[in-house]
Structure 1
């Protein structure tokens, strides 16, 4: 008999398209950010394309990201690589003028392109040419040479369509479960997500490692840290937040928060108050 997990009211006070960005409002003053939808043929695999452009930055600007459980493919003039799930935070420094074009795959969505477990990419960066050979090298060159952002996005979209990824129902299942973990803040434990999925804990763990690239415990905790960052930034009480997000105490949340965001919650809250 299935155990019914009590559901708390969903709380979502901040809904930004920049979830996971550290100090997002400062970032949007330093560079432009745009999203582009994928074509219908690859929308089962790709969440969206994103384009970051910056112009005449006289001083270096570093944007830190609290990573998502997704694979990203990024092409800029500095690098052109595929990033598996990054367990910690990471950052990118911009100076002068430039553009970065990224493809965020849906959780599980890169597996049909990889042809194997996504966990082999976790914590790694792989050159696009290494992954896709001469066709990948050509894609990078064409995207770098294309000055129009929409046309560059179309090049990447067309390239991915040309690879002919096959639909996989497990991609859909993995993506739906990751979305559930993100959007329902009452999900704080793996066994709760397992009950909601209809799978055993072990089966859920296998699905996540094979398709998402990392286990469900990390995924749940990472989304709760995203939630914490947004709500601390808006000035909410940390002790109450720790209890709501499933942490045993405030100190545990503070440790996780500092490791991912790069500063303790109190310092991050001051950034939020400075924007007011």
Structure 2
């Protein structure tokens, strides 16, 4: 299925493609993008690693907060873009974008999520000649379904040599996801039968982020998608586990560098409803309010 998403200026069109079937690899979702002109797209933190496999006439360029720059196919770590100072640009960019669960990232990428937190690296640096081969093959086929199938086969093959995450760490991550970040993170260790120090250490070393920050990221992700859907900040704050609207405002600014009003129009988020329709974020009926624990 294909559709077109326009940026806020209604000038640069994004061609967006979605796979007809889910990936064979649990923890992988994909979308295809064709972008004629991309200027200063703010990258918004997301509770998954982001991999971009480009194969078009142009290359995506990512400028980070420290003045660094990355071109071409890349991988961005969990929560990459924190603070809103990471911008993407490019002309005539065509790519497959993969969202990768941190539970399978080490196996698929060959690098620990902990080494990628807050960073973006070249796929060439991670995969060597295999990165060039997949780029060539993606450019040789004529349909998005073939491109998705090629990408999925590659990820499935790499995932076969899985470097397993501890079952307790995986459970804690899934608990944070299913709870939409609204979990008492101090109780996670007790629930898996580990000490707090052990869980925090293993979680950080294997997934690249401490449980408390992971929960804040997941909660933020659900909140901003509700803002994008047009819900009011006061309602989102009340339903999203924030102490009040000011608390939501502070979190959004911390993660994105802009206010809730502005973030609702960010193209990186507004495209999600088209590119990743299976990951919509409907509000939950009830939950407890957590504040900043």
Length-normalised TM-score, structure 1: 0.69
Give distance in 2, aligned partners of 1:173 and 1:224: 21
Q: Kindly state the Cα deviation for residue 87 of structure 1 after the two structures are TM-superposed.
A: 5.2
Give distance in 2, aligned partners of 1:25 and 1:236: 23
* Segment drifting more, 81-90 vs 99-108: 81-90
Contact map agreement 2:48 2:102 (CA 8 A) in 1 = yes
Q: Which residue of 2 aligns with 1:7?
A: none
Q: Which residue of 2 aligns with 1:3?
A: none
Contact map agreement 1:186 1:245 (CA 8 A) in 2 = no
Q: Which residue of 1 aligns with 2:249?
A: 254
Q: Kindly state the Cα deviation for residue 126 of structure 1 after the two structures are TM-superposed.
A: 2.0
Say yes or no: does 1:154 pair with 2:149. yes
Q: Which residue of 2 aligns with 1:20?
A: none
Q: Kindly state the Cα deviation for residue 221 of structure 1 after the two structures are TM-superposed.
A: 0.5
Say yes or no: does 1:83 pair with 2:79. no
Q: Which residue of 2 aligns with 1:138?
A: 133
Contact map agreement 1:106 1:175 (CA 8 A) in 2 = no
Distance 1:153 1:263, change over 3 A: same
Say yes or no: does 1:112 pair with 2:107. yes
Q: Kindly state the Cα deviation for residue 110 of structure 1 after the two structures are TM-superposed.
A: 1.3
Considering only aligned residues, what root-mean-square deviation do their CA atoms show, in Å? 3.4
Q: Kindly state the Cα deviation for residue 140 of structure 1 after the two structures are TM-superposed.
A: 2.1
Summarize deviations over 1:210-267 as a string: whole Å, max 9, x none.
32211111111111112222334433353x6546544455434312212323421244
Give distance in 2, aligned partners of 1:256 and 1:84: 19
> In the TM superposition, what are the counterparts of 1:92-241 in structure 2 within 5 Å?
92-93=88-89, 95=91, 97-114=92-109, 117-163=112-158, 165-167=160-162, 170=165, 174-185=169-180, 187-233=182-228, 234-238=230-234, 241=236
Length-normalised TM-score, structure 2: 0.66
Contact map agreement 1:188 1:245 (CA 8 A) in 2 = no
Give distance in 1, aligned partners of 2:107 and 2:141: 27
- Higher helix proportion, which one? 1
Instruction: Count how many residue pairs are aligned between Structure 1 and Structure 2.
Output: 239
Give distance in 1, aligned partners of 2:87 and 2:134: 25
Q: Which secondary structure state, in structure 2, belongs to the residue aligned with residue 126 of structure 1?
A: strand
Where does structure 1 lack aligned partners over 5 or more consecutive residues?
1-23, 272-276
Q: Kindly state the Cα deviation for residue 80 of structure 1 after the two structures are TM-superposed.
A: 0.7
Q: Kindly state the Cα deviation for residue 61 of structure 1 after the two structures are TM-superposed.
A: 5.6
Distance 1:167 1:130, change over 3 A: closer
Summarize deviations over 1:71-114 as a string: whole Å, max 9, x none.
2221124111122221514443465x442212222222111245
* Segment drifting more, 228-237 vs 204-213: 228-237
Contact map agreement 2:34 2:95 (CA 8 A) in 1 = yes
Contact map agreement 2:32 2:144 (CA 8 A) in 1 = yes
Where does structure 2 lack aligned partners over 5 or more consecutive residues?
60-71, 267-293
